[in-house]
Amino acid sequence: MNVVEKLSGWRTGRRDCIAGLAALGLAAATHAAGKTRAPVILVVGDSLSAEYGLARGSGWVELLRQRLAQDKIEATVVNASISGDTTSGGRARLAALLKAHQPTHVIIELGGNDALRGLPLKNTQDNLAWMTQRAQDAGARVLLLGMQVPPNYGGDYGRRFAQIFQDVARETKAALVPFFLQGVADGPDAARLFQADRIHPNAQAQPMMLDNVLPQLKKLLR
């Protein structure tokens, strides 16, 4: 074999090798593209989601993990709730949470402590809207958990506070649970479902709270 023949064979072999590597790369990329990322659900809430006064593992967020597993829905649930948190606190820490966990879904359960502290309703609405939009900008679907205040706050204040969640959901096109504690705080035997402080739901109420959240969340997971 002369030098020309050797060079020709080397070039042919090199072209075949490059073509083979390209084919392998294309196959790997196609496989990766066809593989769907499992949902990561980030819960940003206050004491209602942070298992305040409850045995660890008995709160509605932990029950959510269990229910999704029972329903054969592969998902990671991250509970970033802090007792006593307000919408301002949630807003301050949201960016770091989005960066750390890269959620596909964000559940925002905040606002109740704003009302208890008498914070301006406009601030609460602005914070909820900001959090919702930032989570959406990060690629997550958002579920807002609406809250209501007891009648002693006054009818007008109560209506305006509940309307905040409706308005934010409509403006941002986020999903909404109108009243997170439906059937718990407004039921005929509400006292039975609360801890001694009459503010925090007890363990018996946690499955009911989950049942209020799950239908809307499953729509987003589809």
Say how many C-beta atoms besides its own lie within 10 A of residue 217's C-beta: 23
Residue type (1 letter), 38 = A
Dig out the tokens for 68 from the structure: 């999704």
Catalytic positions are 47, 197, 200
Homologous superfamily assigned to 37-221 = SGNH hydrolase (3.40.50.1110)
State how far the Cα of 84 lies from the Cα of 103, in Å rounded to an integer.
23
Q: Rounded to the nearest 5 degrees, what angle is found at the Cα of 21, between the Cα atoms of 17 and 23?
A: 115
pLDDT digits (tens, 9 = 90+) for 38-93: 999 999 999 999 999 999 999 999 999 999 999 999 999 999 999 999 999 999 99
Percentage of residues in the chain having pLDDT higher than 70: 84
Q: Which residues pair with 41 in a beta bridge?
A: 77, 105
Please state the domain extents for the chain: 1-35, 37-221
State how far the Cα of 27 lies from the Cα of 16, in Å rounded to an integer.
17
The pLDDT of residue 151 is 84
Least Cα distance to 38 among 74, 88, 10, 5 occurs for 74
State how far the Cα of 98 lies from the Cα of 45, in Å rounded to an integer.
14
pLDDT digits (tens, 9 = 90+) for 100-153: 999 999 999 999 999 999 999 999 999 999 999 999 999 999 999 999 998 888
Which helix (H) or strand (E) segment is 108 a member of?
A: strand 105-109
The pLDDT of residue 153 is 86
